[in-house]
Structure 1
Amino acid sequence: MKKPQFLIPLLLFFIFNNSVLGQNKSKTINAFSDRVFNGKEYQPLGDLKWKFKTEGKIFSSPISQNNTVYIGSEDGFLYAVDEKSGKENWKFKTNGAIHSSPSISGNTIYFGSFDGFYYAVNSQTGKEIWKFKTGGEHWLGEIGMWGFKPANQYMEDLWSFYLSSPVVYQNGKTAIVLFGSSDGNFYAVDAKTGNQIWKFKTDGPVHGTPVIDKNKIYIGGWDAVLYALNAETGKEIWHFALGTQTGFKGIQSSVAVSDGKVLFGARDPHFFALDSETGKLIWKYDAENSWILSSAVVKDNTVYVGTSDTYALLALDLKTGKEKYRLKTNGYVYSSPAIAGNTIYFGDFTGNFFALNLLSNGKEFNSVSTENRKQFASATLKNDLLDFGYTAQNEDLTFYDNNKKVMDQFYRLGPIVSSPFVNSNTIYFGSGDGFIYAYNLQKGK
């Protein structure tokens, strides 16, 4: 498949998360705990039910409980929005952007902010219960990143979208909240008090979200290592190291665990299946120099995951890693997909949101667009496709600031890096245009 001309990282010195949320059996809604929702057969996207405007880009993913949708925004607020009307119930202010996705256990909602704190807030009133101070939260960055010019300028990674999203784990009589931090630690704190129980040190910021399966915690970060930890003690069981080539280093996604396999993608341009007991490689899929920041979801022995450079949703065989089919979109697929019934839902970086019939081998789908995409697509996209060089308009892309200008143009489209949540025949997702969207789902076919 032909790639856009800018995706030759070693030649041009540049390249190219969230989190999706689900509900587990214990009434705790944890980021990445389960991305398969109850549903009917194929349910395409219907009419817009409502949209709610925040004052910042949305990288956080929504969750819904007790007729309320919760989501964070880059404007520094966590919002509680009425599920039926789209009206604000309350909002909670932090002193930093909220790129972490919330999790709920009982009447407490947990999330992190770029102000350097992880919070526990009453989900009904929006009142703070506790906050935990990390060593500081920040985007990935360095001086002269990836050979960009000028060599002495500090540069933030333009594609580091998320902070770690907390997960609640019941450890005997104690519930603990687990999350990573930009300070390089992975933390376990008491869910009621916010007191630290243990921490695990890595060799880089941890912006991924943990997944717990059979008392093992799986977490990866910017040191390009996937760790399996004991959920009770935080001690390492095994680790798996990926490649560290410039521009291809780091794990932003979360794992899926199925059939004894730990499944995940990374900036190392592959998708990996590891043995959950030993951490040994079972198979890996060559993603054609494409990052995989999307987190996978598994159904009926098929693994579904998005790619960046090839603009695709992939369907891979769970046992072998062989590609079954792909759905080509209009831009990077960083949104982690969610499945309800025989439909998979996800967004792309151009502001399109898709509903694909899983029984159609990638042939039957419909899509909707953000309001910003409708307004700015013709001026930003080339033949309705994301094209870095086209949008750059002959700017010298060896300079960091010119790449940032292109990304700012892309953000005008309302990119969807937020991942969807399905509840009561409605699907919710956030967008870079600052809106959370609620769409009705059509009757099952």
Structure 2
Amino acid sequence: MKYLLFAGALIAAAVAMPATAQDWPMFMGDARHTGLVSATPTDIAKLKPVWRYRLAAEVSASPVVVGNLLYIAAENGNLYAFDLTTHKQVWLYRAEGGIGSTPAVADGRLYILSRDGYLTALDAASGKALWRFKTGGEARFGVPGGYGMPKADGIVPDPWDFWLSSPLVEGGRVYFGSSDHHVYALDVVTGKEVWRFEADDSIHAAPALSNGRLFIATWGTKLYALDAKTGAKLWDFQGGKDAETGIFQGFSAAPTIDGDTVYIGSRDGYVRAFSAADGKLRWAWDAEKSWVLATAAVDADSLYFPTSDTTVFIALDKKTGREKYRTDTKVWTYTSPVIAGDYAFAGTMTGDLYAFDKRTGKILWHYQTDDAKTDTQDLIDEAGKLRMDGLFPQGFPPAPGVENVKALGAFEASPIWAGNRLIVVTANGEILIFSDGTE
């Protein structure tokens, strides 16, 4: 099929364009989730912490930056705004439930989804609530008999279901998914519902948007393409599904859009590329039965993401799905990477933060949290791997083990690059800002 030159130019313009070096206003930096910025550290060896601060809260949502304000949402229900120059708290907003979604900031407003079932709009400068929209309720995904527990014990929540759907703002609307099985589009000024779409299952992944199409994935391992204006379904794809009592499949990752291609990893053990127009499968990369919970980042040539069970950081050729390299991270990595110039940054569940050479996968820089170095429970062995037998004893639910791992300063929140700073927050609430001294 031949395209007009003008249409071709529009598509080319939508391919892996980096975010500004100063702002990171939503999950993965932009509406297409490229995870890409044009800035790069001058000297990676000089990257060191210039500020750290411990919140009295667990954090699963990624930080965002707009202008000189850093916003961090926490599971204690607090949303914090810090001045990046003075490192002073500017304001705090209190929700009635934990905030598991990465905030989105646009045109002076900030949007969050909290576990009490509300999507809230705030004034980004003052933290004043502007409006709230109630969903049908937010909850961790779970099924009776999950993880081998007796069905009589009732629903077993999935302890690896870390996040809620992070809002996306574009064209005067805020889009997000909900545990109530719906995708919502709201007016950004009034909070009034424009449309809703009923999906097959709970939605905790963030939506992505490009060229009037909204892409969003569910715990039923289904990826939907919707008309962003009307909410009408354009196409869908069904990935691998569990039995009724299963809990191992589903989409936690958000889609990544690059030109006319949509990429997404899944807990069914594959990373896939689809035609954005009609959902035709272009290629599927076999993750060797490993979960892929992270949202992939993309640049001009490659797709980048980490894996869970196989504990590797991967680069694929984005056109063919051919593997370019893999680097062992020794442990599950669930953070979505950020690509800053020549480097890819990602953090693991043992509190290790890495800068990879994005061309070769070589580890060029490494930081480990103080909590992981102390390792008071002796969870990390001599090889840098987790002691699985002690963490997850047979016949016990996995949630206590996951909580113990979080205490290492694990990274559930993805790193960001804004204002020539690397900014991360640990699962147990430590904010870390790194600089090479050139900001």
TM-score, normalised with respect to structure 1: 0.88
Partner of 1:431: 426
Change (3 A) 1:385 1:53: same
Matched-pair contact (CA < 8 Å) for 2:334–2:349: yes
Partner of 2:54: 53
Matched-pair contact (CA < 8 Å) for 1:42–1:341: no
Secondary structure at the aligned position of 2:241 is classed as: coil
Instruction: Report the alpha carbon displacement of residue 269 of structure 1 after superposing the two structures with TM.
Output: 0.4
Kindly provide the amino acid, as one letter, of the partner of residue 50 in structure 1. W
Partner of 1:62: 63
Partner of 2:25: 29
Kindly provide the amino acid, as one letter, of the partner of residue 372 in structure 1. D
Q: Deviations over 1:167-207 (max 9, x none)?
A: 1120xxxx010000111100000000101110000121111
Matched-pair contact (CA < 8 Å) for 1:103–1:165: yes
Secondary structure at the aligned position of 1:408 is classed as: helix
The size of the alignment, in residue pairs, is: 413
Secondary structure at the aligned position of 2:81 is classed as: strand
Instruction: Report the alpha carbon displacement of residue 56 of structure 1 after superposing the two structures with TM.
Output: 1.4
Q: Deviations over 1:93-130 (max 9, x none)?
A: 00111110001011111111001101100111110001
* In the alignment, structure 1 residue 84 sits paired with structure 2 residue 85: yes
1:96-111 alignment runs, 5 A limit: 96-111=97-112
Partner of 1:256: 256
1:350-361 alignment runs, 5 A limit: 350-359=350-359, 361=360
Secondary structure at the aligned position of 2:292 is classed as: coil
Q: Deviations over 1:136-169 (max 9, x none)?
A: 1110122221422464243110100000011112
Partner of 1:16: none
CA–CA distance in structure 2, aligned partners of residues 43 and 181 of structure 1: 42
Secondary structure at the aligned position of 1:437 is classed as: strand
1:35-46 alignment runs, 5 A limit: 35-40=35-40, 43-44=43-44, 46=47
CA–CA distance in structure 2, aligned partners of residues 334 and 106 of structure 1: 30
* In the alignment, structure 1 residue 177 sits paired with structure 2 residue 174: yes
Q: Deviations over 1:227-259 (max 9, x none)?
A: 000010000000011010334321111111224
CA–CA distance in structure 2, aligned partners of residues 274 and 120 of structure 1: 33
CA–CA distance in structure 1, aligned partners of residues 40 and 137 of structure 2: 44
Change (3 A) 1:41 1:125: closer
* In the alignment, structure 1 residue 190 sits paired with structure 2 residue 187: yes
Change (3 A) 1:443 1:355: farther
CA–CA distance in structure 2, aligned partners of residues 336 and 101 of structure 1: 12
1:258-407 alignment runs, 5 A limit: 258-359=258-359, 361-376=360-375, 379-387=378-386, 389-392=388-391, 396-400=393-397, 403-407=398-402
1:109-258 alignment runs, 5 A limit: 109-149=110-150, 151-170=152-171, 175-245=172-242, 246-258=246-258
Matched-pair contact (CA < 8 Å) for 1:250–1:268: yes
* In the alignment, structure 1 residue 94 sits paired with structure 2 residue 95: yes
Sequence identity of aligned pairs in percent?
Answer: 31
Matched-pair contact (CA < 8 Å) for 1:117–1:133: yes
Q: Unaligned stretches of 5+ in structure 2?
A: 1-17
Matched-pair contact (CA < 8 Å) for 2:24–2:416: no
Instruction: Report the alpha carbon displacement of residue 86 of structure 1 after superposing the two structures with TM.
Output: 2.4
Partner of 1:3: none
Task: State the Cα RMSD in Å.
Answer: 2.1
* In the alignment, structure 1 residue 416 sits paired with structure 2 residue 411: yes
Instruction: Report the alpha carbon displacement of residue 42 of structure 1 after superposing the two structures with TM.
Output: 6.7
Partner of 1:10: none
Q: Unaligned stretches of 5+ in structure 1?
A: 1-21
